[in-house]
Chains A and B, each alone.
Chain A
Amino acid sequence: GDSVTQMEGPVTLSEEAFLTINCTYTATGYPSLFWYVQYPGEGLQLLLKATKADDKGSNKGFEATYRKETTSFHLEKGSVQVSDSAVYFCALRKRNSGNTPLVFGKGTRLSVIA
């Protein structure tokens, strides 16, 4: 079945460091890809998405590019802030019908220290 694999955390970075969180997927067809963020004690917030190969999603300084050849959607940010501390989830969704659910990875916890 479809699946998403994320790098295991936790990831601890100093403020202004460069962030990469790896995400690879397995799916038939061409899914849409997403990054969601979960702040402590809260639900999930959509961070960015890409719906086809070579698309780049971006938001709040975060970026991810849909790489069909490597089935990857790595999340990057050039300079992290303490406020970026959260759990980040990579997810996919099949595009062949309207009732397909999101399939999530296990999440990567990011801690940014001042």
Chain B
Amino acid sequence: ETGVTQSPTHLIKTRGQQVTLRCSSQSGHNTVSWYQQALGQGPQFIFQYYREEENGRGNFPPRFSGLQFPNYSSELNVNALELDDSALYLCASSLRLLADTDTQYFGPGTRLTVL
């Protein structure tokens, strides 16, 4: 069984640029969530996708957007990068069942540095 994978591992961008991060969910999982983890902090929820539709969003501006594809892989796009966007971006996949007992499994993350 393949786990959650993310690409790229590391990325360096300059302020104002745009970035796309990718995530392949664990086999059989239909839900993907994205989190931002600033240095020394816990992860903060950005948004979640379920069956290709956004299905919940945290306190992040609209320049953070995403997609989920038919194979349940996902992208996180960030426009107009700011210095404070420097963080580890984590993708988590899960299988949503009727009962809310699904567990989220995390990928290794993408380390984004904005200069």
Contacts from A to B (Cβ < 8 Å): 4, 32, 36, 42-46, 49, 51, 89, 91, 93-107
Which listed segment binds A: B12-20, B68-76, B77-85, B97-105?
B97-105
- CB neighbours of B56 from chain A (8 A): 99-101
Can you identify 27 A-B contacts, CB atoms within 8 angstroms?
A: A32-B100, A42-B108, A42-B109, A43-B4, A43-B6, A43-B88, A43-B109, A44-B90, A46-B103, A49-B103, A51-B101, A96-B100, A98-B96, A98-B97, A99-B31, A99-B48, A99-B55, A99-B56, A99-B96, A102-B33, A102-B43, A102-B45, A104-B43, A104-B44, A105-B42, A107-B40, A107-B41
Residue on A nearest B59 in the bound complex, by CB: A1
Residue on B nearest A4 in the bound complex, by CB: B42
Chain B: number of interface residues, binned into ranges: 20 to 34
- CB neighbours of B101 from chain A (8 A): 32, 51, 95
- CB neighbours of B28 from chain A (8 A): none
Cβ B45 vs Cβ A43 within 8 A: no
Cβ B41 vs Cβ A106 within 8 A: yes
- CB neighbours of B90 from chain A (8 A): 43-44
B107 at the interface (CB under 8 A from A): yes
Say yes or no: A100-B107 contact (C-beta < 8 A), given A44-B43, A89-B42, A106-B42: no
**Given A43-B106, A99-B50, 10 more contacts at CB 8 Å?**
A43-B4, A43-B107, A44-B43, A49-B103, A89-B42, A94-B100, A99-B48, A102-B45, A104-B44, A106-B41
Closest 7 CB pairs of A and B: A104-B42, A101-B45, A44-B106, A99-B56, A43-B108, A43-B106, A98-B96
Proximity string of chain B (35-49) to chain A, C-beta cutoff 8 Å, 1 when within and 0 when not: 100001111110010
- CB neighbours of B97 from chain A (8 A): 98
B8 at the interface (CB under 8 A from A): no
A4 to B105 CA separation, bound complex (whole angstroms): 20
Cβ A46 vs Cβ B105 within 8 A: yes
